[in-house]
Amino acid sequence: MLVPVNAWALGDSGPPPLTPTRVLSAWTANPPVLLVVVLLAAAYLAGVHALRRRGETWPRARSLCFLVGGVGTIALVGLSVLGVYSGTLFWARALQNLLLVMFAPMFLALGAPLTLLRETLPRRARSVAGAVLHSRVARVLTFPPVVTLVLVVPPLVLYFSPLYEQTLRSSLVSGLVGVLLVFSGFVYYWSRLRVDPVPSPGSYLVTMWITLVEVMVDAALGIVLWLGPVIATGYYLGVGRSWGPDLRVDQDIGAGILWIGGDIIGLPFLATVAVRMSKEDEGSAVQIDAELDAAEVEEASAHEGAGDAEPTPARLWWEEVPELAERTRGHGA
């Protein structure tokens, strides 16, 4: 995905300056990105079409999240001005990496692709997919401390090792890193948003703590890039760019994008988590109310059948809820 393809050959004077006009008009036909985008969109639309052929519905909002927010962002990253100048400007590649690890995966996860896949698979394949989903590897991968590392470690390794310069010099390495960033972000959002089924659902409060850790890592990454030495100096000097910010300022801009941009992208994620947590609480309240109503009906029927038998003492409402009843018995002991 992160293939540094420039629309112009790099001569002695370097690529053309990035002007406001080129921000909108600079596009590149990047074959690997086009292939990934077409395959993802085609597979998702085929699944939705299969459901509709069976007379089932699929929420339009999920399709929009996956196709526009997720796949559309991948296309924007690789084909727009970001793809054209990703091998020339540090800040352009920094924005690419940020969108690939935090923005695109969030919308891919909101599209519930695993649920769509499960609903369209044959019954035997569905059971195999369920076994994989609840396997030990899946449980370990989505364990909160592990999923935190899955999210924060790849960017740190990328920028603080020779890997970053290799992504600039090799299209293959660049593409593999792009896939890894999307995968790590998807694992995080899949396990924390829980739109798709997960091996072991955790508390949304844990998600808040993980997000706090991620914000702190973004800040640390931005500060180190801002105050630390310029990375991939040999490559950028070899580009021969004679316009725009110098290498130091270019990296400072990229550091700000990684720091502040990560926090900005985290806001809609936290809002989504808050909404889902509220809906989950409402669902639990409705279920408890239904159970209480059923218990009252059963108790009234028992009284009517007992006739003149001695009535059983009324129970307090919290004694009908197993979790609360267990706590009250513990305090009363």
d(CA 216, CA 118): 36
pLDDT for residue 280 is more than 90: no
Tokens of 11: 């001569």
320 vs 136, residue with greater confidence: 136
Residue-level pLDDT at 333: 47
The number of helices, as runs of H, and strands, as runs of E, in the chain is 18, 0
112 phi and psi angles, rounded to 5 deg: 55, 50
Provide the residue type at 217 as one letter: V
Q: What is the mean pLDDT of residues 47-54?
A: 92
For 262-276, what is each residue's pLDDT tens digit?
Answer: 878 777 777 777 776
Nearest one of 255, 276, 95, 257 to 201, comparing CA atoms = 276
pLDDT band at residue 3 under the 50/70/90 scheme: very low
- Band of residue 124 on the pLDDT scale cut at 50, 70, 90: confident
Distance (Å, whole) CA 232 – CA 254: 13
Q: What is d(CA 123, CA 130) in angstroms, rounded to the nearest whole number?
A: 11
Q: Which two tokens stand for residue 45?
A: 């639309």
Of 80-89, 92-101, 133-142, least confident by mean pLDDT is 133-142
What's the mean per-residue pLDDT of the chain?
Answer: 81
* pLDDT tens column, 22-40: 988 888 889 999 999 999 9
Q: Please report which confidence band the pLDDT of residue 253 belongs to, taking 50, 70 and 90 as the band edges.
A: very high
Instruction: Tell which wins on pLDDT, 265 or 99.
Output: 99
Residue 320 is predicted with a pLDDT of 54
Q: Which pLDDT belongs to residue 160?
A: 94
The predicted pLDDT at position 2 comes to 42
CA pair distance 52, 62, nearest whole angstrom? 15
Query: According to the model, what pLDDT value does residue 319 have?
Result: 55
Indicate whether 332 pLDDT > 50: yes
Supply the pTM of this predicted model: 0.77
Per-residue pLDDT averaged across 64-88, rounded?
A: 94
Q: How would residue 4 be classed by pLDDT, with cut points 50, 70 and 90?
A: very low
pLDDT at 286: 47
Residue 312 has pLDDT above 60, yes or no: no
